[in-house]
């Protein structure tokens, strides 16, 4: 996997793909599916995530302050749904779903080599967890599989149906005010 | 336009479409383009939005506590980008872009009849504006154009390129834990 600047996290997340969140506890990795997230800031790159005490990953994330946001593509659709419909409390999800770990650089949480991209994150602010289950993460490093042919991400429509990325349209010429985002 | 329950806002927003935010000030409507938003909670339906003092809409939204989130489709792509690249301070965007107003029910802000759906919103929490420019909105009413043929939304990849919705895959059968979201 190739590295891309952490400041470019918005290029992967602003479009709203469903993502996987990897955590680790006592050296054992776990993974959950997440649909409620957004880019909060370009620099430093902050990502807001809704993860609550009802998620088994919540404690690992709160205790360790680290996670990886992995971005799956359409070939992983069934796994993405199944990962979100069982708990790490009773299931070894990496084994059950045959996910391939790869070492991260800055966090003690593995990357998922099967995904298009992996964003190493540190928890930046937990002050809104009690009120809104809002964890604010800072992206610290990004890895992307540049050779991957399947790059279409999945967008959850909230009920178990997903839109797959279709055609891309390029309107960069019209971005007169926000031109710097193209650097 | 047909009404759908406000509690279903996540069905329109979780997939991460770029949206338009309508506000009004002294009875004059304005509109901005927004890419940083997420569903924060199913019930009551809360939506987190990053809107800062650099946005002309910010003051209207903060003063009135009301807005409409309109969801455009691919036929409006150029307008969506152009709306995001000029300011309501100097441009009457409704006139310039030929947008059609329709009356909302619960807020003193117009709907955009040209869009697929419109979500009437009230500001629920401004306490995080200073730190993160995060406005938390509650969806109070939703209107959807049920007869519209073009329903493909746009997903901003952060740099002026957009993914258009492609095929939909239905994995509802696998949603064993989250079945209630299909009601």
pLDDT in tens, B143-170: 999 999 999 999 999 999 999 999 999 9
- What is d(CA B41, CA A126) in angstroms, rounded to the nearest whole number? 17
B110: CB partners within 8 A, 6+ apart: B22, B24, B29, B68, B101, B102, B103, B104
A160, pLDDT greater than 90: yes
Residue A40, SS3? strand
Residues in chain A with CB shorter than 8 Å from the CB of B154 are: 169
Contact A40 B132 (CB under 8 A): yes
The mean per-residue pLDDT over the stretch A7-15 comes to 98
The two structure tokens encoding residue A46? 């902050």
B75, pLDDT greater than 90: yes
The values of phi and psi at residue B131, to 5°, are -80, -40
Residue A94, SS3? helix
| pLDDT above 90 coverage of chain B, percent | 90
Contact A136 B132 (CB under 8 A): yes
- Indicate the pLDDT class of residue A93, thresholds 50, 70 and 90: very high
- What is d(CA B126, CA A142) in angstroms, rounded to the nearest whole number? 32
The two structure tokens encoding residue A63? 């205790």
Is B50 within 8 Å of B11 (Cβ atoms)? no
The values of phi and psi at residue A76, to 5°, are -105, 10
B172 touching A, CB under 8 A?
yes
Angle (CA) B149 B150 B156, round 5°: 160
B82, pLDDT greater than 90: yes
How close is the nearest chain B Cα to the Cα of A7, in Å?
Answer: 12
* pLDDT of the residue at A179: 82
- What is d(CA B62, CA B71) in angstroms, rounded to the nearest whole number? 21
Helix (H) or strand (E) holding A64: helix A57-64
The values of phi and psi at residue A159, to 5°, are -125, 15
Contact A178 B74 (CB under 8 A): no
A40 touching B, CB under 8 A?
yes
pTM of the model as a whole: 0.96
B4 touching A, CB under 8 A?
no
- Indicate the pLDDT class of residue A55, thresholds 50, 70 and 90: confident
Is B178 within 8 Å of A84 (Cβ atoms)? yes
Angle (CA) A93 A13 B94, round 5°: 145
The two structure tokens encoding residue A154? 């999945």
| pLDDT above 70 coverage of chain B, percent | 100
- What is d(CA A109, CA A52) in angstroms, rounded to the nearest whole number? 19
Among A158, A164, A179, most B C-beta atoms within 10 A, so best to mutate, is A158
Is A36 within 8 Å of B45 (Cβ atoms)? no
The values of phi and psi at residue B121, to 5°, are -130, 150
Tallying the residues shown for chain A, one arrives at: 183
The mean per-residue pLDDT over the stretch A108-124 comes to 98
A154, pLDDT greater than 90: yes
CA distances from A49 to A45, A108, A123, A129, A144 (A): 13, 20, 10, 10, 21
- Indicate the pLDDT class of residue B176, thresholds 50, 70 and 90: confident
Residue B125, SS3? strand
Task: Walk me through the domains of chain A, giving residue ranges and CATH numbers.
Answer: 2-181 (2.30.110.10)
- What is d(CA B93, CA B101) in angstroms, rounded to the nearest whole number? 12
Beta bridge mates, A52: none
How close is the nearest chain B Cα to the Cα of A90, in Å?
Answer: 14
A95 touching B, CB under 8 A?
no
**Span of A3-12, A163-172, B82-91, B111-120 with lowest mean pLDDT:** B82-91
B176 touching A, CB under 8 A?
yes
* pLDDT of the residue at B173: 95
Q: What was the ipTM of the complex prediction? A: 0.96
């Amino acid at each position: 996997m190739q590295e891309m600047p952490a400041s470019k996290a918005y290029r992967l997340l602003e479009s709203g793909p469903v993502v996987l969140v990897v955590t680790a506890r006592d050296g054992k990795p776990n993974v959950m599916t997440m649909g409620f997230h957004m880019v909060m800031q370009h620099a430093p790159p902050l990502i807001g995530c809704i993860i609550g005490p009802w998620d088994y990953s919540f404690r690992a994330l709160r205790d360790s302050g680290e996670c990886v946001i992995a971005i799956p593509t359409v070939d992983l659709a069934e796994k993405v749904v199944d990962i979100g419909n069982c708990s790490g409390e009773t299931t070894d999800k990496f084994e059950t779903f045959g996910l391939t770990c790869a070492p991260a650089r800055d966090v003690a949480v593995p990357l998922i080599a099967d995904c298009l991209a992996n964003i190493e994150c540190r928890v930046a602010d937990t002050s809104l967890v009690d009120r809104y289950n809002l964890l604010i993460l800072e992206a610290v490093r990004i890895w992307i599989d540049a050779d991957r042919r399947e790059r279409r991400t999945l967008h959850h429509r909230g009920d178990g149906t997903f839109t797959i990325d279709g055609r891309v349209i390029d309107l960069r010429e019209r971005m007169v005010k926000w031109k710097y985002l193209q650097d």
